[in-house]
Amino acid sequence: MRSALPARFLRARAAAVALVATLLLLGTPSAHAEASGPRPPEMTDGFGLTQIGSTTGSATNFVVTVTTPEVDGEHRIRILLPTDYADHPEKRYPVLYFLHGASDDPGNPNVAYPALTAAQSMITVIPDGGRRGWYTNWLDQGTVAGAQNWENFHISQVIPFIDANLRTNATKKARAVAGLSMGGFGSLHYAQRHPDLFSQVATLSGANELSMRHAVMRAAVVATLTNIGAPLCGSSNPTCSLDFGPPVSSDAIFGTPYPILGADWRWNEADPVSHMDVLARAGMGVTIYTGNGKGNSTEPEFWVQSASQHAKERLDGLGYPSHYVDYGDGSGWGDKCDGGHTSGCWAQDLVDFVPRLEAAFASA
């Protein structure tokens, strides 16, 4: 018969069992530390924005969800902070407002491209622009989509909300706007209508923004409104959903797109190529990226290239410099760019753009 275990051994085993039980209840030390680690800054409602639900994400990459009378529904705003933001409470940062493409959503983590999250000297804000909001106040506010005042939302609400809640340098010289695909229209549209707010503007494969007068480009916008499928997509996902929401009239945003007796004048007025002189007079830095869609007219980038060239020609005619990059079929422009209207090309655009923007902010 074996002798009884020593009392000290039994006490040690009981202590070990108690420790294991405690860890199972509380989680491992590393997991518990992570849960109680740095949190995103607290944001205060204001400027017509009301926060709903919880802020999600990390201390430097998080999403705030808001409602506003200006646009129907709930809207996510993704915010990217430099890693040292919490370590320097006296420091203020310039801000890039980055506008996503059609069918995308800031709740999608793919919108936070690596070059944006790696930025160390600026804040990046990616506000909801809707699946087909087109970064403007719609002409028809009575559609099934409800209120659609996207420009009011971004310019009069999001920008002051960010300046009030984060340590921004709230000046023109420290504020930029850029966007891809549908967001390319938004970036130029906002820069031209509000040149007092931005010192830099960039368009990445800007769909429609460079040629609202072109029939193909208008057809792409109308396709998102009527939800019949579109020849473009600005999703940061590798694949893109062509569900743009409940169908609305083709006239909902800019009135009739058909050039009959000048009835389409609002579309012509929204064409940024017609207003490049505004950017020149404001002394704004202008950056344009485009591919060539491999010369395939069924690829959206084929049409984007032509529109981008017209924009550059307009700036050249004004004697105004720009940073223009046509990477053609994508050869040598990153490992995942094929010259098409794709996230692989936009990721490389940002690898080029972000350091240049940070340098421009620093020199200003």
Residues facing 93 on adjacent strands = 168
Rg of the Cα atoms in the chain: 24
**Stretch (H or E) spanning 279:** helix 276-282
Predicted local distance difference test score (pLDDT) of residue 61: 98
Burial call 167-183: b when 16+ CB within 10 Å, e when fewer: bbbbebebbbbbbbbbb
Strands 175-180 and 123-127 come out as: unpaired
Whole-angstrom Cα distance, residue 8 to residue 147? Answer: 73
| Cα angle: 346, vertex 350, 355; to 5 degrees | 170
Average pLDDT, 10 consecutive residues per value, the chain (364 residues): 46 44 35 58 97 96 98 98 96 98 93 97 98 96 97 98 98 98 94 98 76 73 81 70 85 92 91 94 98 82 87 96 96 94 95 98 96
Predicted local distance difference test score (pLDDT) of residue 230: 56
For residues 98 and 126, the answer to whether their CB atoms sit within 8 Å is yes
DSSP, res 353: H
Q: Does the CA dihedral 147-152-157-163 come out positive or negative?
A: positive
| Cα angle: 27, vertex 31, 37; to 5 degrees | 130
Dig out the tokens for 58 from the structure: 């990390």
Closest by alpha carbon to 188, among 265, 255, 272, 114?
272
Whole-angstrom Cα distance, residue 112 to residue 96? Answer: 12
Whole-angstrom Cα distance, residue 191 to residue 202? Answer: 10
**pTM, whole model, 2 decimals?**
0.88
